[in-house]
Structure 1
Protein backbone atom coordinates (compact mmCIF):
# COMPACT_ATOMS: atom_id res chain seq x y z
CA UNK A 1 0.00 0.00 0.00
CA UNK A 2 1.41 3.38 -0.97
CA UNK A 3 1.70 6.34 1.35
CA UNK A 4 -1.11 8.06 -0.51
CA UNK A 5 -3.37 5.04 -0.16
CA UNK A 6 -2.68 4.60 3.53
CA UNK A 7 -3.10 8.28 4.41
CA UNK A 8 -6.90 8.06 4.48
CA UNK A 9 -7.19 4.87 6.55
CA UNK A 10 -9.56 5.74 9.42
CA UNK A 11 -8.54 5.09 13.01
CA UNK A 12 -9.23 6.54 16.45
CA UNK A 13 -6.83 9.10 17.92
CA UNK A 14 -4.14 7.68 20.21
CA UNK A 15 -5.25 6.71 23.70
CA UNK A 16 -5.00 9.45 26.31
CA UNK A 17 -2.43 8.10 28.75
CA UNK A 18 -1.03 9.89 31.80
CA UNK A 19 2.63 10.86 31.57
CA UNK A 20 3.48 8.81 34.67
CA UNK A 21 1.44 5.73 33.67
CA UNK A 22 3.20 2.42 34.22
CA UNK A 23 3.88 0.18 31.21
CA UNK A 24 1.04 -2.25 31.99
CA UNK A 25 -1.52 0.57 31.93
CA UNK A 26 -0.13 1.76 28.60
CA UNK A 27 -0.30 -1.74 27.14
CA UNK A 28 -3.97 -2.11 28.09
CA UNK A 29 -4.99 1.29 26.71
CA UNK A 30 -3.20 0.77 23.42
CA UNK A 31 -4.59 -2.73 23.00
CA UNK A 32 -8.06 -1.16 22.99
CA UNK A 33 -6.95 1.42 20.42
CA UNK A 34 -5.44 -1.26 18.22
CA UNK A 35 -8.64 -3.30 18.22
CA UNK A 36 -10.73 -0.22 17.41
CA UNK A 37 -8.38 0.76 14.57
CA UNK A 38 -8.75 -2.73 13.07
CA UNK A 39 -12.54 -2.49 13.32
CA UNK A 40 -12.66 0.96 11.68
CA UNK A 41 -10.32 -0.07 8.87
CA UNK A 42 -12.48 -3.11 8.18
CA UNK A 43 -15.67 -1.05 8.10
CA UNK A 44 -14.04 1.39 5.68
CA UNK A 45 -13.14 -1.43 3.31
CA UNK A 46 -9.43 -1.23 4.13
CA UNK A 47 -9.22 -4.96 4.58
CA UNK A 48 -5.46 -5.12 4.03
CA UNK A 49 -4.73 -2.72 6.87
CA UNK A 50 -7.35 -4.38 9.07
CA UNK A 51 -5.69 -7.77 8.58
CA UNK A 52 -2.28 -6.36 9.45
CA UNK A 53 -3.64 -4.74 12.62
CA UNK A 54 -5.29 -7.99 13.67
CA UNK A 55 -1.99 -9.76 13.13
CA UNK A 56 -0.41 -7.25 15.50
CA UNK A 57 -3.16 -7.98 18.05
CA UNK A 58 -2.73 -11.73 17.74
CA UNK A 59 1.05 -11.73 18.09
CA UNK A 60 1.17 -13.04 21.63
CA UNK A 61 0.49 -10.71 24.54
CA UNK A 62 1.08 -7.47 22.63
CA UNK A 63 2.75 -4.75 24.70
CA UNK A 64 2.41 -1.38 23.01
CA UNK A 65 3.71 1.69 24.82
CA UNK A 66 2.21 3.80 22.02
CA UNK A 67 -0.05 3.19 19.04
CA UNK A 68 -1.56 5.42 16.38
CA UNK A 69 -3.41 3.73 13.54
CA UNK A 70 -3.99 6.87 11.50
CA UNK A 71 -2.31 7.28 8.11
CA UNK A 72 0.95 5.36 7.75
CA UNK A 73 0.76 4.71 11.48
CA UNK A 74 3.05 4.64 14.48
CA UNK A 75 3.68 1.96 17.08
CA UNK A 76 6.08 1.39 19.95
CA UNK A 77 6.11 -2.23 21.08
CA UNK A 78 7.97 -3.88 23.97
CA UNK A 79 9.32 -7.42 23.96
CA UNK A 80 10.25 -8.73 27.39
CA UNK A 81 9.58 -7.41 30.88
CA UNK A 82 10.51 -3.74 30.64
CA UNK A 83 9.99 -3.01 34.34
CA UNK A 84 12.65 -5.51 35.44
CA UNK A 85 15.04 -5.17 32.49
CA UNK A 86 18.49 -3.73 33.12
CA UNK A 87 19.52 -4.00 29.45
CA UNK A 88 17.14 -2.41 26.95
CA UNK A 89 17.63 -2.23 23.19
CA UNK A 90 15.68 0.39 21.23
CA UNK A 91 15.35 -0.41 17.53
CA UNK A 92 14.96 2.60 15.23
CA UNK A 93 13.85 1.59 11.71
CA UNK A 94 14.61 3.06 8.34
CA UNK A 95 12.57 3.99 5.29
CA UNK A 96 9.28 2.38 4.29
CA UNK A 97 8.53 1.09 7.78
CA UNK A 98 4.81 1.62 8.41
CA UNK A 99 1.93 -0.30 9.96
CA UNK A 100 1.58 -2.02 6.58
CA UNK A 101 5.16 -3.36 6.74
CA UNK A 102 5.29 -3.66 10.53
CA UNK A 103 5.63 -7.44 10.69
CA UNK A 104 9.02 -7.23 8.98
CA UNK A 105 10.22 -4.74 11.60
CA UNK A 106 8.67 -6.79 14.40
CA UNK A 107 10.41 -9.97 13.25
CA UNK A 108 13.80 -8.35 13.80
CA UNK A 109 12.80 -7.21 17.28
CA UNK A 110 11.63 -10.72 18.18
CA UNK A 111 14.85 -12.28 16.89
CA UNK A 112 16.94 -9.85 18.93
CA UNK A 113 14.92 -10.44 22.09
CA UNK A 114 15.23 -14.20 21.75
CA UNK A 115 18.98 -13.83 21.26
CA UNK A 116 19.31 -11.57 24.32
CA UNK A 117 17.11 -13.77 26.51
CA UNK A 118 19.34 -16.74 25.82
CA UNK A 119 22.13 -15.00 27.72
CA UNK A 120 20.46 -12.37 29.87
CA UNK A 121 16.84 -12.85 31.02
CA UNK A 122 16.63 -9.30 32.37
CA UNK A 123 16.60 -7.76 28.91
CA UNK A 124 13.97 -6.09 26.77
CA UNK A 125 13.66 -4.84 23.22
CA UNK A 126 11.62 -1.82 22.18
CA UNK A 127 10.58 -1.54 18.53
CA UNK A 128 10.24 2.23 18.06
CA UNK A 129 8.18 3.12 15.02
CA UNK A 130 7.68 6.57 16.50
CA UNK A 131 8.07 8.67 13.37
CA UNK A 132 6.85 8.99 9.80
CA UNK A 133 9.55 7.17 7.87
CA UNK A 134 10.37 8.38 4.34
CA UNK A 135 9.79 6.23 1.29
CA UNK A 136 12.85 4.46 -0.08
CA UNK A 137 12.08 5.84 -3.53
CA UNK A 138 11.50 9.49 -2.68
CA UNK A 139 13.35 12.77 -2.42
CA UNK A 140 12.51 12.85 1.32
CA UNK A 141 14.89 9.99 2.02
CA UNK A 142 17.78 12.11 0.75
CA UNK A 143 17.37 14.82 3.40
CA UNK A 144 17.35 14.96 7.20
CA UNK A 145 13.92 16.61 7.45
CA UNK A 146 12.10 13.50 8.70
CA UNK A 147 15.06 12.60 10.92
CA UNK A 148 15.03 15.99 12.62
CA UNK A 149 11.32 15.62 13.41
CA UNK A 150 11.89 12.07 14.61
CA UNK A 151 14.74 13.12 16.92
CA UNK A 152 12.38 15.56 18.62
CA UNK A 153 10.17 12.57 19.47
CA UNK A 154 12.89 10.05 20.26
CA UNK A 155 14.89 12.13 22.77
CA UNK A 156 12.05 12.61 25.31
CA UNK A 157 10.90 9.04 24.73
CA UNK A 158 14.31 7.73 25.80
CA UNK A 159 14.11 9.78 28.98
CA UNK A 160 10.69 8.32 29.80
CA UNK A 161 11.84 4.83 28.89
CA UNK A 162 14.78 4.95 31.28
CA UNK A 163 12.34 5.73 34.10
CA UNK A 164 9.99 2.89 33.10
CA UNK A 165 12.73 0.27 32.84
CA UNK A 166 14.35 -1.58 35.72
CA UNK A 167 16.59 0.18 38.25
CA UNK A 168 19.97 1.12 36.81
CA UNK A 169 18.93 0.08 33.32
CA UNK A 170 21.23 0.76 30.39
CA UNK A 171 19.78 1.60 27.00
CA UNK A 172 21.28 0.85 23.58
CA UNK A 173 20.08 2.52 20.39
CA UNK A 174 20.22 0.19 17.39
CA UNK A 175 19.67 2.26 14.27
CA UNK A 176 19.08 0.81 10.82
CA UNK A 177 19.48 2.64 7.51
CA UNK A 178 17.65 6.01 7.63
CA UNK A 179 17.13 5.29 11.33
CA UNK A 180 20.84 5.98 11.78
CA UNK A 181 20.20 9.54 10.57
CA UNK A 182 17.52 9.82 13.26
CA UNK A 183 19.80 8.53 16.02
CA UNK A 184 22.64 10.81 14.94
CA UNK A 185 20.39 13.80 15.62
CA UNK A 186 18.99 12.61 18.94
CA UNK A 187 20.54 14.02 22.13
CA UNK A 188 20.91 11.22 24.66
CA UNK A 189 21.31 11.20 28.40
CA UNK A 190 23.54 8.98 30.55
CA UNK A 191 21.14 6.03 30.39
CA UNK A 192 22.06 5.49 26.72
CA UNK A 193 25.42 3.76 26.78
CA UNK A 194 25.73 2.57 23.18
CA UNK A 195 24.55 3.57 19.71
CA UNK A 196 24.95 1.13 16.81
CA UNK A 197 24.59 2.40 13.24
CA UNK A 198 24.10 -0.31 10.60
CA UNK A 199 23.21 -0.17 6.94
CA UNK A 200 23.73 3.57 7.28
CA UNK A 201 23.69 6.04 4.36
CA UNK A 202 25.62 8.46 6.60
CA UNK A 203 24.55 10.62 9.48
CA UNK A 204 25.16 14.18 8.33
CA UNK A 205 28.09 14.39 10.75
CA UNK A 206 31.75 14.18 9.80
CA UNK A 207 32.70 12.09 12.82
CA UNK A 208 31.25 10.14 15.71
CA UNK A 209 32.51 12.83 18.05
CA UNK A 210 30.05 15.31 16.54
CA UNK A 211 26.98 13.32 17.58
CA UNK A 212 25.00 14.76 20.53
CA UNK A 213 25.79 11.87 22.86
CA UNK A 214 28.35 10.55 25.31
CA UNK A 215 27.47 6.98 24.34
CA UNK A 216 29.87 4.65 22.57
CA UNK A 217 29.18 4.76 18.83
CA UNK A 218 29.42 1.60 16.74
CA UNK A 219 29.09 1.10 12.99
CA UNK A 220 28.76 -1.96 10.78
CA UNK A 221 27.75 -2.87 7.25
CA UNK A 222 27.06 -6.30 5.78
CA UNK A 223 29.21 -7.44 2.88
CA UNK A 224 26.11 -7.73 0.70
CA UNK A 225 24.48 -4.44 1.67
CA UNK A 226 23.66 -2.33 -1.39
CA UNK A 227 23.98 0.86 0.65
CA UNK A 228 27.75 0.57 0.24
CA UNK A 229 27.18 1.83 -3.31
CA UNK A 230 25.36 4.98 -2.19
CA UNK A 231 27.73 7.99 -2.51
CA UNK A 232 28.67 9.33 0.91
CA UNK A 233 28.51 12.97 -0.07
CA UNK A 234 26.51 16.01 0.94
CA UNK A 235 25.35 18.91 -1.24
CA UNK A 236 23.52 21.45 0.88
CA UNK A 237 20.54 19.63 2.40
CA UNK A 238 20.94 16.60 0.13
CA UNK A 239 22.93 13.57 1.28
CA UNK A 240 24.52 12.55 4.57
CA UNK A 241 28.27 12.82 4.07
CA UNK A 242 30.85 10.65 5.80
CA UNK A 243 30.51 6.88 5.83
CA UNK A 244 30.12 5.67 9.46
CA UNK A 245 32.11 2.48 8.75
CA UNK A 246 35.10 4.49 7.49
CA UNK A 247 37.75 4.35 10.23
CA UNK A 248 38.15 8.12 9.87
CA UNK A 249 34.59 8.55 11.19
CA UNK A 250 35.75 7.19 14.54
CA UNK A 251 33.01 4.68 15.31
CA UNK A 252 33.84 1.29 16.79
CA UNK A 253 33.48 -1.46 14.17
CA UNK A 254 31.45 -4.59 14.75
CA UNK A 255 31.29 -7.84 12.80
CA UNK A 256 28.34 -8.09 10.39
CA UNK A 257 29.08 -11.01 8.07
CA UNK A 258 27.90 -11.42 4.46
CA UNK A 259 24.30 -10.26 4.86
CA UNK A 260 22.37 -7.70 2.86
CA UNK A 261 20.54 -4.52 3.79
CA UNK A 262 17.59 -6.28 5.43
CA UNK A 263 19.52 -9.11 7.10
CA UNK A 264 21.11 -7.55 10.19
CA UNK A 265 18.57 -8.93 12.68
CA UNK A 266 17.96 -12.32 11.11
CA UNK A 267 18.42 -15.32 13.42
CA UNK A 268 21.79 -17.01 13.22
CA UNK A 269 23.63 -14.08 11.64
CA UNK A 270 26.92 -12.64 12.82
CA UNK A 271 25.35 -9.20 12.82
CA UNK A 272 22.63 -10.29 15.25
CA UNK A 273 25.28 -11.78 17.53
CA UNK A 274 27.27 -8.55 17.40
CA UNK A 275 24.30 -6.32 18.12
CA UNK A 276 23.25 -8.53 21.03
CA UNK A 277 26.81 -8.32 22.33
CA UNK A 278 26.70 -4.53 22.22
CA UNK A 279 23.41 -4.46 24.15
CA UNK A 280 24.76 -6.87 26.76
CA UNK A 281 27.89 -4.88 27.43
CA UNK A 282 30.51 -6.27 25.09
CA UNK A 283 31.46 -2.64 24.50
CA UNK A 284 33.03 -2.65 27.97
CA UNK A 285 35.71 -5.07 26.80
CA UNK A 286 36.14 -3.79 23.24
CA UNK A 287 39.13 -1.83 22.10
CA UNK A 288 38.99 1.95 22.27
CA UNK A 289 40.86 2.18 18.98
CA UNK A 290 38.27 1.76 16.18
CA UNK A 291 40.79 0.86 13.47
CA UNK A 292 42.47 -1.96 15.39
CA UNK A 293 39.85 -3.87 17.38
CA UNK A 294 41.19 -6.62 19.63
CA UNK A 295 37.79 -7.96 20.63
CA UNK A 296 34.71 -7.80 18.42
CA UNK A 297 31.26 -7.40 19.91
CA UNK A 298 30.34 -10.87 18.72
CA UNK A 299 33.43 -12.45 20.30
CA UNK A 300 32.96 -10.62 23.57
CA UNK A 301 29.34 -11.70 23.75
CA UNK A 302 30.46 -15.33 23.71
CA UNK A 303 33.48 -14.89 25.99
Structure 2
Protein backbone atom coordinates (compact mmCIF):
# COMPACT_ATOMS: atom_id res chain seq x y z
CA UNK A 1 0.00 0.00 0.00
CA UNK A 2 3.03 2.28 0.41
CA UNK A 3 3.36 2.37 -3.37
CA UNK A 4 0.26 4.54 -3.82
CA UNK A 5 1.62 7.52 -1.85
CA UNK A 6 4.85 7.12 -3.80
CA UNK A 7 3.01 7.40 -7.08
CA UNK A 8 1.04 10.40 -5.88
CA UNK A 9 4.21 12.07 -4.66
CA UNK A 10 5.88 11.55 -8.02
CA UNK A 11 2.99 13.06 -9.93
CA UNK A 12 2.67 16.02 -7.60
CA UNK A 13 6.34 16.87 -7.41
CA UNK A 14 7.08 16.51 -11.12
CA UNK A 15 4.19 18.82 -11.93
CA UNK A 16 5.08 21.40 -9.29
CA UNK A 17 8.84 21.35 -9.77
CA UNK A 18 8.93 21.78 -13.54
CA UNK A 19 6.30 24.54 -13.55
CA UNK A 20 7.69 27.60 -15.30
CA UNK A 21 6.65 31.19 -14.72
CA UNK A 22 4.98 31.10 -18.12
CA UNK A 23 3.42 27.67 -17.79
CA UNK A 24 -0.04 29.07 -18.30
CA UNK A 25 0.95 30.92 -21.46
CA UNK A 26 0.81 28.01 -23.86
CA UNK A 27 -2.74 27.72 -25.14
CA UNK A 28 -4.49 24.82 -26.86
CA UNK A 29 -3.01 24.32 -30.31
CA UNK A 30 -6.35 24.92 -32.03
CA UNK A 31 -5.37 27.86 -34.20
CA UNK A 32 -5.75 26.65 -37.80
CA UNK A 33 -2.90 26.82 -40.29
CA UNK A 34 -2.46 25.61 -43.85
CA UNK A 35 -0.35 22.59 -44.69
CA UNK A 36 3.20 23.68 -45.50
CA UNK A 37 4.52 23.38 -49.04
CA UNK A 38 6.26 20.13 -49.84
CA UNK A 39 10.02 20.71 -49.91
CA UNK A 40 12.63 18.27 -51.10
CA UNK A 41 15.22 17.28 -48.48
CA UNK A 42 18.27 19.50 -48.39
CA UNK A 43 21.28 18.01 -50.16
CA UNK A 44 23.67 20.92 -49.74
CA UNK A 45 24.52 23.75 -47.38
CA UNK A 46 25.46 26.03 -50.26
CA UNK A 47 24.13 29.57 -49.69
CA UNK A 48 21.86 29.49 -52.75
CA UNK A 49 20.29 26.19 -51.69
CA UNK A 50 19.71 27.36 -48.14
CA UNK A 51 18.30 30.70 -49.32
CA UNK A 52 15.74 28.87 -51.45
CA UNK A 53 14.70 26.78 -48.44
CA UNK A 54 14.41 29.86 -46.26
CA UNK A 55 12.32 31.67 -48.87
CA UNK A 56 9.91 28.74 -49.28
CA UNK A 57 9.38 28.48 -45.54
CA UNK A 58 8.90 32.25 -45.30
CA UNK A 59 5.96 31.94 -47.69
CA UNK A 60 4.55 29.19 -45.51
CA UNK A 61 4.84 31.42 -42.44
CA UNK A 62 3.04 34.24 -44.23
CA UNK A 63 0.23 31.88 -45.22
CA UNK A 64 -0.09 30.77 -41.61
CA UNK A 65 -0.13 34.40 -40.48
CA UNK A 66 -2.99 35.17 -42.85
CA UNK A 67 -4.95 32.14 -41.59
CA UNK A 68 -4.40 33.05 -37.93
CA UNK A 69 -5.52 36.64 -38.55
CA UNK A 70 -8.63 35.47 -40.34
CA UNK A 71 -9.31 33.14 -37.41
CA UNK A 72 -9.15 36.16 -35.10
CA UNK A 73 -6.04 35.17 -33.16
CA UNK A 74 -4.07 38.39 -33.17
CA UNK A 75 -1.39 37.09 -30.86
CA UNK A 76 -0.53 34.16 -33.11
CA UNK A 77 -0.69 36.37 -36.19
CA UNK A 78 1.73 38.86 -34.61
CA UNK A 79 4.16 36.09 -33.69
CA UNK A 80 4.07 34.75 -37.23
CA UNK A 81 4.52 38.23 -38.70
CA UNK A 82 7.75 38.55 -36.75
CA UNK A 83 8.89 35.12 -37.91
CA UNK A 84 8.30 36.08 -41.55
CA UNK A 85 10.90 38.86 -41.35
CA UNK A 86 13.27 38.44 -44.33
CA UNK A 87 16.23 38.36 -41.94
CA UNK A 88 14.93 35.17 -40.27
CA UNK A 89 15.99 31.74 -41.57
CA UNK A 90 13.83 28.64 -41.21
CA UNK A 91 14.83 25.18 -42.36
CA UNK A 92 11.33 23.95 -41.66
CA UNK A 93 8.00 25.41 -40.69
CA UNK A 94 4.56 23.94 -40.07
CA UNK A 95 2.01 26.14 -38.32
CA UNK A 96 -0.40 23.34 -37.47
CA UNK A 97 -0.92 21.72 -34.07
CA UNK A 98 1.00 24.30 -32.05
CA UNK A 99 3.79 24.67 -34.62
CA UNK A 100 6.91 22.89 -35.84
CA UNK A 101 9.98 24.93 -36.68
CA UNK A 102 13.73 24.78 -37.11
CA UNK A 103 15.17 28.29 -37.16
CA UNK A 104 18.82 28.97 -37.92
CA UNK A 105 20.54 31.76 -36.00
CA UNK A 106 23.82 32.49 -37.75
CA UNK A 107 25.22 31.48 -41.13
CA UNK A 108 24.73 27.73 -41.52
CA UNK A 109 26.67 27.60 -44.79
CA UNK A 110 29.85 28.82 -43.06
CA UNK A 111 29.33 27.29 -39.62
CA UNK A 112 32.05 25.10 -38.17
CA UNK A 113 30.21 24.60 -34.86
CA UNK A 114 26.48 23.92 -34.73
CA UNK A 115 24.23 23.67 -31.67
CA UNK A 116 20.73 22.24 -31.97
CA UNK A 117 18.48 23.39 -29.13
CA UNK A 118 15.72 20.98 -28.10
CA UNK A 119 13.08 22.61 -25.88
CA UNK A 120 11.03 21.27 -23.02
CA UNK A 121 7.39 21.69 -22.08
CA UNK A 122 5.16 24.65 -22.90
CA UNK A 123 7.04 25.62 -26.05
CA UNK A 124 4.89 26.47 -29.06
CA UNK A 125 4.42 29.27 -31.56
CA UNK A 126 2.74 31.26 -28.78
CA UNK A 127 5.82 31.08 -26.53
CA UNK A 128 8.39 30.87 -29.29
CA UNK A 129 9.99 34.23 -28.53
CA UNK A 130 11.45 32.93 -25.27
CA UNK A 131 12.91 29.88 -27.01
CA UNK A 132 14.43 31.93 -29.83
CA UNK A 133 15.92 34.43 -27.38
CA UNK A 134 18.00 31.63 -25.91
CA UNK A 135 19.23 30.64 -29.36
CA UNK A 136 20.22 34.24 -30.09
CA UNK A 137 22.06 34.55 -26.77
CA UNK A 138 23.99 31.35 -27.40
CA UNK A 139 24.93 32.41 -30.93
CA UNK A 140 26.25 35.72 -29.60
CA UNK A 141 28.32 33.86 -27.02
CA UNK A 142 29.73 31.51 -29.67
CA UNK A 143 30.66 34.20 -32.18
CA UNK A 144 31.43 33.75 -35.88
CA UNK A 145 31.68 30.39 -37.61
CA UNK A 146 28.90 29.08 -35.40
CA UNK A 147 25.19 28.53 -35.93
CA UNK A 148 22.43 27.71 -33.48
CA UNK A 149 19.28 25.92 -34.62
CA UNK A 150 16.16 26.31 -32.51
CA UNK A 151 14.43 22.99 -33.20
CA UNK A 152 10.77 22.94 -32.21
CA UNK A 153 10.05 19.73 -34.07
CA UNK A 154 7.41 18.22 -31.83
CA UNK A 155 4.28 19.01 -29.87
CA UNK A 156 5.67 19.70 -26.43
CA UNK A 157 3.63 18.69 -23.39
CA UNK A 158 1.99 21.26 -21.18
CA UNK A 159 3.75 21.38 -17.83
CA UNK A 160 0.50 21.00 -15.90
CA UNK A 161 -0.63 17.90 -17.77
CA UNK A 162 -0.25 14.11 -17.51
CA UNK A 163 1.88 14.15 -20.70
CA UNK A 164 4.67 15.94 -18.80
CA UNK A 165 5.01 12.88 -16.53
CA UNK A 166 5.47 10.26 -19.28
CA UNK A 167 7.69 9.80 -22.31
CA UNK A 168 4.82 9.57 -24.80
CA UNK A 169 5.48 12.93 -26.47
CA UNK A 170 9.23 12.22 -26.43
CA UNK A 171 8.72 8.86 -28.12
CA UNK A 172 6.92 10.63 -30.97
CA UNK A 173 9.55 13.37 -31.16
CA UNK A 174 12.75 11.31 -31.01
CA UNK A 175 12.55 9.86 -34.56
CA UNK A 176 11.91 13.34 -35.95
CA UNK A 177 14.89 14.78 -34.12
CA UNK A 178 17.03 11.88 -35.29
CA UNK A 179 16.01 12.39 -38.93
CA UNK A 180 16.71 16.13 -38.66
CA UNK A 181 20.17 15.64 -37.19
CA UNK A 182 21.10 12.98 -39.75
CA UNK A 183 20.14 15.32 -42.59
CA UNK A 184 22.06 18.14 -40.94
CA UNK A 185 25.21 16.04 -40.61
CA UNK A 186 24.74 15.00 -44.23
CA UNK A 187 24.95 18.58 -45.49
CA UNK A 188 27.53 19.72 -42.90
CA UNK A 189 29.77 16.66 -42.45
CA UNK A 190 32.76 18.66 -41.26
CA UNK A 191 30.99 20.73 -38.63
CA UNK A 192 31.12 20.01 -34.91
CA UNK A 193 27.53 19.30 -33.88
CA UNK A 194 26.08 19.38 -30.34
CA UNK A 195 22.59 18.65 -29.03
CA UNK A 196 21.51 20.94 -26.18
CA UNK A 197 18.48 19.49 -24.45
CA UNK A 198 16.47 21.41 -21.88
CA UNK A 199 14.08 19.90 -19.36
CA UNK A 200 11.63 17.49 -21.09
CA UNK A 201 13.75 17.93 -24.21
CA UNK A 202 16.38 15.75 -22.57
CA UNK A 203 13.94 12.83 -22.74
CA UNK A 204 13.59 13.51 -26.47
CA UNK A 205 17.36 13.63 -26.97
CA UNK A 206 17.93 10.39 -25.07
CA UNK A 207 15.45 8.65 -27.36
CA UNK A 208 17.07 10.09 -30.48
CA UNK A 209 20.68 9.51 -29.39
CA UNK A 210 21.45 5.99 -30.68
CA UNK A 211 23.61 6.19 -33.77
CA UNK A 212 23.65 9.97 -34.16
CA UNK A 213 26.99 11.46 -35.23
CA UNK A 214 27.19 14.29 -32.73
CA UNK A 215 30.05 15.41 -30.54
CA UNK A 216 28.03 16.26 -27.43
CA UNK A 217 24.63 15.69 -25.89
CA UNK A 218 23.97 18.18 -23.10
CA UNK A 219 21.16 17.61 -20.60
CA UNK A 220 20.32 20.65 -18.49
CA UNK A 221 17.42 21.28 -16.16
CA UNK A 222 16.53 17.65 -16.78
CA UNK A 223 13.90 15.61 -14.90
CA UNK A 224 15.64 12.44 -16.13
CA UNK A 225 15.94 10.74 -19.49
CA UNK A 226 14.13 7.44 -19.20
CA UNK A 227 17.41 5.50 -18.99
CA UNK A 228 19.35 4.67 -15.85
CA UNK A 229 22.86 5.30 -17.19
CA UNK A 230 24.46 7.00 -20.19
CA UNK A 231 25.14 3.53 -21.58
CA UNK A 232 21.42 3.21 -22.18
CA UNK A 233 21.56 6.13 -24.60
CA UNK A 234 23.80 4.07 -26.92
CA UNK A 235 25.81 7.02 -28.10
CA UNK A 236 29.47 7.77 -28.73
CA UNK A 237 28.88 11.42 -27.96
CA UNK A 238 30.15 12.96 -24.74
CA UNK A 239 27.11 13.27 -22.48
CA UNK A 240 27.07 16.34 -20.24
CA UNK A 241 24.62 17.26 -17.48
CA UNK A 242 23.98 20.31 -15.33
CA UNK A 243 21.41 21.79 -12.99
CA UNK A 244 21.50 25.30 -11.62
CA UNK A 245 21.20 25.77 -7.88
CA UNK A 246 17.96 27.73 -8.30
CA UNK A 247 16.21 25.19 -10.52
CA UNK A 248 13.05 23.81 -8.92
CA UNK A 249 13.39 20.63 -10.94
CA UNK A 250 15.84 19.50 -8.25
CA UNK A 251 12.77 18.50 -6.23
CA UNK A 252 11.57 15.96 -8.80
CA UNK A 253 11.67 12.40 -7.40
CA UNK A 254 13.87 10.41 -9.77
CA UNK A 255 11.68 7.35 -10.04
CA UNK A 256 10.28 5.40 -12.94
CA UNK A 257 7.03 3.65 -12.15
CA UNK A 258 5.35 1.24 -14.53
CA UNK A 259 1.61 1.63 -14.18
CA UNK A 260 -1.08 -0.30 -16.09
CA UNK A 261 -1.73 2.61 -18.46
CA UNK A 262 1.72 4.26 -18.71
CA UNK A 263 5.22 4.51 -17.31
CA UNK A 264 5.49 7.58 -15.10
CA UNK A 265 8.69 9.43 -14.30
CA UNK A 266 12.10 9.52 -15.97
CA UNK A 267 14.43 7.66 -13.64
CA UNK A 268 18.02 8.43 -12.67
CA UNK A 269 19.04 12.02 -12.03
CA UNK A 270 21.41 13.00 -14.89
CA UNK A 271 23.69 14.96 -12.53
CA UNK A 272 24.14 11.97 -10.21
CA UNK A 273 27.24 9.78 -10.22
CA UNK A 274 25.05 6.81 -11.00
CA UNK A 275 24.08 8.28 -14.38
CA UNK A 276 27.70 8.72 -15.48
CA UNK A 277 27.56 12.02 -17.39
CA UNK A 278 30.13 14.80 -17.21
CA UNK A 279 28.70 17.37 -14.81
CA UNK A 280 29.46 21.08 -15.24
CA UNK A 281 28.68 24.27 -13.36
CA UNK A 282 25.34 25.87 -14.31
CA UNK A 283 25.40 28.73 -11.82
CA UNK A 284 22.51 29.88 -9.68
CA UNK A 285 19.71 30.63 -12.14
CA UNK A 286 16.23 29.19 -12.32
CA UNK A 287 14.69 26.57 -14.60
CA UNK A 288 14.29 29.03 -17.49
CA UNK A 289 17.62 30.84 -17.08
CA UNK A 290 20.19 28.49 -18.62
CA UNK A 291 20.57 30.58 -21.79
CA UNK A 292 20.32 33.93 -20.05
CA UNK A 293 22.97 36.41 -21.25
CA UNK A 294 25.84 36.74 -18.81
CA UNK A 295 25.02 33.52 -16.97
CA UNK A 296 27.53 30.85 -15.99
CA UNK A 297 25.38 28.23 -17.68
CA UNK A 298 25.37 30.07 -21.02
CA UNK A 299 29.14 30.50 -20.90
CA UNK A 300 29.65 26.80 -20.20
CA UNK A 301 27.17 25.66 -22.83
CA UNK A 302 29.11 27.74 -25.37
CA UNK A 303 32.35 26.16 -24.20
CA UNK A 304 30.94 22.68 -24.79
CA UNK A 305 29.67 23.58 -28.26
CA UNK A 306 33.12 25.01 -29.05
CA UNK A 307 34.86 21.83 -27.90
CA UNK A 308 36.50 23.31 -24.81
CA UNK A 309 36.12 22.21 -21.19
CA UNK A 310 33.46 24.03 -19.15
CA UNK A 311 34.11 25.13 -15.62
CA UNK A 312 33.36 22.37 -13.17
CA UNK A 313 33.42 19.83 -16.00
CA UNK A 314 34.52 16.40 -14.83
CA UNK A 315 33.59 12.75 -15.29
CA UNK A 316 31.79 10.77 -12.64
CA UNK A 317 33.32 7.49 -11.61
Fold agreement, TM-score > 0.5:
yes
Pairing of 1:100-249 with structure 2 (within 5 A): 100-117=126-143, 121-165=144-188, 167-189=189-211, 191-236=213-258, 237-249=263-275
Q: CA deviation at 1:271?
A: 0.1
Q: CA deviation at 1:290?
A: 2.7
Distance 1:62 1:15 in 2: 18
Q: CA deviation at 1:220?
A: 0.1
Q: Which has the higher contact order (CA 8 A, sep 6+)?
A: 2
Contact map agreement 1:74 1:131 (CA 8 A) in 2? yes
The count of corresponding residues between Structure 1 and Structure 2 is 284
Distance 1:285 1:270 in 2: 9
Look up the match of 1:294.
none
Return the match for 1:32 from 23, 44, 59. 59
* 3-state SS of 1:222 partner: coil
User: Are the structure 2 counterparts of residues 10 and 147 from structure 1 closer, same or farther at C-alpha, using a change threshold of 3 Å?
Assistant: same
Q: CA deviation at 1:212?
A: 2.6
Distance 1:284 1:256 in 2: 10
The superposition leaves residues 131-186 of structure 1 with CA deviations (integer Å, 9 ceiling, x where unpaired) of 00000000001001110110010111101111233x51111000000000000111
Q: CA deviation at 1:227?
A: 0.1
- 2:88 is the alignment partner of 1:62: yes
Look up the match of 2:122.
96
Distance 1:94 1:276 in 2: 19
Which segments of 5 or more consecutive residues in structure 2 lack a partner in the other structure?
1-24, 44-48
Contact map agreement 2:91 2:104 (CA 8 A) in 1? yes
Distance 1:280 1:2 in 2: 33
Range moving further from structure 2, 170-179 or 68-77: 68-77
TM, length-normalised to structure 2: 0.86
Contact map agreement 2:280 2:312 (CA 8 A) in 1? no
* 3-state SS of 1:151 partner: helix
Look up the match of 1:300.
none
Distance 1:190 1:49 in 2: 34
Q: CA deviation at 1:64?
A: 0.3
Q: CA deviation at 1:187?
A: 3.1
Distance 2:207 2:99 in 1: 22
